[in-house]
Chain A
């Protein structure tokens, strides 16, 4: 370390520590991994002033574009925040990405077959691979979906699976998001920001583009239109301006060149869906909906919903409109069902899983529950129905009072909790307060399933900005980085 100190970038002069983690940029000997060498050199040659200036420019750009998200605190008040962006990109070599792409394709293919099965024959339950109560008692299992045939048998058209890397650098799936995964707009904006800020760097690397994501999304949505119609009308259905991802909804609709609508803009008549326009009703064929199942149709679900469209489920059941994602996909990202995904892959595809899960204990199993309750101080306990880092106990950082609360919660409703060992998430050098720190990162690629599976290279790398924090969700003080997948 000392011998190299004079050669290190100023950013690293305060003895960057790799610690007991896998570091995305540095190998064990503190030299950069080969694929990080060019950027390492660039940073070394850059003055502090120049770096700071670029950072300011990037921040201002994000602020002016209104790239913000809403954080919900305990008092249920929303606070608008800028999603912090870090200038040092995360770089994934091409063979690593090929592996991830194969693993993710396998995983979402199996999950779609699983969804079809549990809403039809339920073979996986009849054959005893998954306990019935696990599926039928899941909050997001929708009996209304039984017997419905979505076009091409695709249920989850847009999936965001969260990947982490352990101490050895092995990629693990932390969770899948099959309802309305958000964050893809940050992936796209981060790339724009990097191109403006470090145009030269892109000349030193062959970075695979991701800018075509909106077109890929649109192509996916069009490919699942009812009755294979050649020129379907696609709209994006948003809950409205108070939703934390509203910025993303408008962004994607604009990029795809489709209309963004709220529930009140749509009307169902005789099992067909229309948008209201000044020139009368106009048919709608595919709805990219960013609104939860519970609120999508007050006739069939939450009667008090002001956000949904009455009669939409009946139009959907009749095959006159496609919903992306389908209703009831949440059962496949239930955190207890997650534990069965490796089995699900073997069952439907007769293949071994390419990507591994994080080891998971189910509180509903007596043996597992005992283990969980005995190790609350070292495990991460998660409520199966919550996402976004809410309803979670990080054992190593918990107080006795918090552990007691979870002990009680688990005792009352074991079906609702799982636990996992603390994964030593990999870290990535991240600029904070004038120097680089190793911050924990994850990766959310966006997987599109229509007539084929498409994955835009990369995804959103989220960073736990609070020192030592393991939580990377934007609602819990996380930031993000541009993610580069390298060409061959």
Chain B
């Protein structure tokens, strides 16, 4: 599917600030059949935008704004072709990936009740059915609720309250698969689905301006490779998913990360528009 994405971020400050440094992970990946034909990232006020590849292979764009300012607008536009499904070539997991995608993280620790929950869905010697079973169990156990959690919520709280958004579904899935010995990674990106948006509207759920931003997980099956699962919707990745960044958990792949001088509060406004082109 050919998709065009426009991701606008507005940083607003209550007072003048200066020496702001911002990093953004917004460029769609070019792996496993996904192509990115065009990508641009511009800032207002204008500044030089630089980039590097992080340890997980994500493209990070960054810029600094030294002069005093009260607002920065970053616009990222991309033109992407997605494959009908996520089917990367089989590759042996490098040692660091094996370690990183199995180790518990701050967002996704593997102890206590999560371990109990995960073991309840273990299918002996069948990681594929185990992973699918966990996805299904998380989908059934959690209620989609944008009001229940925030960006800092960790997997144990998600399991406890039984509610959350895609980030929470993903973290719980990561924690559960990892503590059963199945390597898993966090995927951040976009989901283009007019149908889901309509369903939510009908269910009375507010649709924020960045609703197309999404998160799901990849699980690694020995001798088979990566499989991409979305516990929020209980399905495999389809052509409607755009992959932007992967990491151990959300902390590795936030769309924006920054620091500035001054004590003024920062307010973030994010708009994501995705449209399909023929």
Q: How far apart sit A310 and B65, CA to CA, in the bound complex (Å)?
A: 12
Asked whether any CB of chain B lies closer than 8 Å to the CB of A71, the reply is: no
Minimum CB distance partner of B60 in chain A: A314
Asked whether any CB of chain B lies closer than 8 Å to the CB of A125, the reply is: yes
A133-B99, A299-B23, A314-B50 as given contacts; A269 in contact with B66, CB under 8 Å: yes
Q: How far apart sit A122 and B55, CA to CA, in the bound complex (Å)?
A: 14
Q: How far apart sit A314 and B49, CA to CA, in the bound complex (Å)?
A: 12
Contact indicator A310/B259 (Cβ below 8 Å): yes
Asked whether any CB of chain A lies closer than 8 Å to the CB of B19, the reply is: yes
Q: How far apart sit A146 and B53, CA to CA, in the bound complex (Å)?
A: 10
* Interface residue from A137, A144, A268, A303 paired with B55 (Cβ < 8 Å): A144
* Interface residue from B52, B96, B259 paired with A317 (Cβ < 8 Å): B52
- Minimum Cβ distance to chain A for residue B2 (Å): 32
Q: Interface 1/0s, chain A 120-160, versus B by CB < 8 A?
A: 00100110000011001100000110110000000000000
Minimum CB distance partner of A148 in chain B: B52
- Minimum Cβ distance to chain B for residue A148 (Å): 9
Interface residues of A in 76-135 (CB under 8 A from B): 122, 125-126, 132-133
Residues of B within 8 A of A271 (CB): 50
Query: Inter-chain contact count A-B, CB under 8 Å?
Result: 55
Residues of B within 8 A of A298 (CB): 259
Contact indicator B21/A268 (Cβ below 8 Å): yes
A267-B66, A298-B259 as given contacts; A132 in contact with B50, CB under 8 Å: no
Asked whether any CB of chain B lies closer than 8 Å to the CB of A63, the reply is: no
Interface residues on B, range: 20 to 34
Q: How far apart sit A318 and B62, CA to CA, in the bound complex (Å)?
A: 12
Residues of B within 8 A of A310 (CB): 19, 21, 64, 259
- Minimum Cβ distance to chain A for residue B145 (Å): 29
* Interface residue from B23, B48, B98 paired with A270 (Cβ < 8 Å): B48
Minimum CB distance partner of B257 in chain A: A299
Q: Interface 1/0s, chain B 41-63, versus A by CB < 8 A?
A: 00000001010110100000010
Q: How far apart sit A303 and B21, CA to CA, in the bound complex (Å)?
A: 12
Q: How far apart sit A462 and B110, CA to CA, in the bound complex (Å)?
A: 45
Residues of A within 8 A of B94 (CB): 122
Residues of B within 8 A of A146 (CB): 55, 96
Contact indicator A136/B21 (Cβ below 8 Å): no
Contact indicator A314/B52 (Cβ below 8 Å): yes
Minimum CB distance partner of B260 in chain A: A310
Asked whether any CB of chain B lies closer than 8 Å to the CB of A429, the reply is: no
Residues of A within 8 A of B62 (CB): 311, 314
Q: How far apart sit A303 and B23, CA to CA, in the bound complex (Å)?
A: 13
Asked whether any CB of chain A lies closer than 8 Å to the CB of B146, the reply is: no
Asked whether any CB of chain A lies closer than 8 Å to the CB of B262, the reply is: no
Interface residues of A in 311-335 (CB under 8 A from B): 311, 314, 317-318
- Minimum Cβ distance to chain A for residue B227 (Å): 23
- Minimum Cβ distance to chain A for residue B65 (Å): 10
Residues of A within 8 A of B21 (CB): 268, 299, 310-311
Residues of B within 8 A of A317 (CB): 52
A126-B95, A314-B50 as given contacts; A143 in contact with B55, CB under 8 Å: yes
Minimum CB distance partner of B252 in chain A: A143
Q: Interface 1/0s, chain B 178-214, versus A by CB < 8 A?
A: 0000000000000000000000000000000000000
Minimum CB distance partner of A300 in chain B: B23
Interface residues on A, range: 20 to 34
Q: How far apart sit A269 and B48, CA to CA, in the bound complex (Å)?
A: 9
Contact indicator B64/A136 (Cβ below 8 Å): no
Q: How far apart sit A270 and B62, CA to CA, in the bound complex (Å)?
A: 9
Q: How far apart sit A270 and B66, CA to CA, in the bound complex (Å)?
A: 10
Contact indicator B19/A136 (Cβ below 8 Å): no
Contact indicator A269/B50 (Cβ below 8 Å): no
Residues of B within 8 A of A126 (CB): 95
Residue among A122, A125, A311 with most chain B CB within 10 A: A311
Q: How far apart sit A125 and B62, CA to CA, in the bound complex (Å)?
A: 33
Q: How far apart sit A271 and B49, CA to CA, in the bound complex (Å)?
A: 10
Residues of A within 8 A of B103 (CB): 136-137
- Minimum Cβ distance to chain B for residue A273 (Å): 12
Residues of B within 8 A of A133 (CB): 99
Residue among A299, A317, A318 with most chain B CB within 10 A: A299
Contact indicator A136/B66 (Cβ below 8 Å): no
Residues of B within 8 A of A269 (CB): 64, 66
Interface residues of A in 188-231 (CB under 8 A from B): none
Residues of A within 8 A of B53 (CB): 147
Asked whether any CB of chain A lies closer than 8 Å to the CB of B120, the reply is: no
Contact indicator B99/A136 (Cβ below 8 Å): yes
- Minimum Cβ distance to chain B for residue A414 (Å): 16
Q: How far apart sit A317 and B50, CA to CA, in the bound complex (Å)?
A: 12
Contact indicator B99/A299 (Cβ below 8 Å): no
* Interface residue from A122, A125, A137, A299 paired with B258 (Cβ < 8 Å): A299
Contact indicator B96/A122 (Cβ below 8 Å): yes
A271-B50, A311-B21 as given contacts; A147 in contact with B55, CB under 8 Å: yes
Q: Interface 1/0s, chain A 254-278, versus B by CB < 8 A?
A: 0000000000000111110000000
Q: Which 5 A-B pairs have the closest CB atoms?
A: A136-B99, A146-B55, A132-B95, A310-B21, A143-B55
Q: Apart from A136-B100, A143-B100, A268-B64, what are 15 other A-B pairs with CB-CB below 8 Å?
A: A126-B95, A132-B95, A132-B96, A136-B103, A146-B55, A146-B96, A147-B55, A269-B64, A270-B48, A270-B64, A298-B259, A299-B258, A299-B259, A303-B259, A311-B64
Q: List 6 A-B contacts (CB under 8 A).
A: A122-B95, A125-B95, A136-B96, A270-B50, A299-B23, A314-B50
